[in-house]
Amino acid sequence: MSFLTLGGGCFWCLEAVFSHMLGVASVVSGYAGGSVANPTYQAVCSGSTGHAEVVQIEFDENVTSVTELLDVFWAVHDPTTLNRQGNDIGTQYRSAIYYTDEKQHKEILASLENVKKSFSSPIVTQIEPLDIFYPAEEHHQNYFANNPEQGYCQVVIKPKVDKFKKTFKEKLAK
């Protein structure tokens, strides 16, 4: 199994999307890219930790690839907006990719080059080595699955999940 850590706005959104993807064993919401050890949601939301809300995806490279994960990533969030996704504003909502080794780094850079032509504005996604990943508090895990009728889930997350299911039918887990 391999891991890829992605930030694309609220971690609930990415977790909900990638949990439906073929080859993905698990998706854990958490924090990365900051300077404070063991950050809390409240501290991350204050903007004082430097962390982004991220998901860490555990996946089987025999079933899906970093490139395929990134194809979904580019499609379900806006990598051209700095420190924001929709109404979620702040550095914790930045677009970011954290890689674990040089092979992943090369795959990420190739994916970025390939996708640039799909956007009319420059991509501002940060690409950095993963230093450490901190899982978020338990009530943030599987948020969409556990709260499907909640307002944010219906208005923000569900449309992203629906877009994934429509656009990437061949990538849906059975």
Residue 13 annotated to the active site? no
SS3 of 154, please? helix
CATH number at residue 149: 3.30.1060.10
What confidence score (pLDDT) does residue 86 get?
Answer: 84
Among residues 10, 13, 45, 153, the one annotated as catalytic is: 10
> CB of 169 within 8 A of CB of 75?
no
What confidence score (pLDDT) does residue 174 get?
Answer: 74
What confidence score (pLDDT) does residue 87 get?
Answer: 86
What confidence score (pLDDT) does residue 68 get?
Answer: 96
- Please give the residue range of the domain that contains residue 86: 2-171
Q: pTM of this prediction?
A: 0.94
The tally of domains found in the chain comes to 1
What confidence score (pLDDT) does residue 154 get?
Answer: 95
Low-confidence ranges of the chain (pLDDT < 50): none
Nearest-angstrom CA–CA distance, 80 and 95: 8
Secondary structure letter of residue 127 according to DSSP: E
Burial of 147 (0-12, 13-18, 19+ CB in 10 A): middle
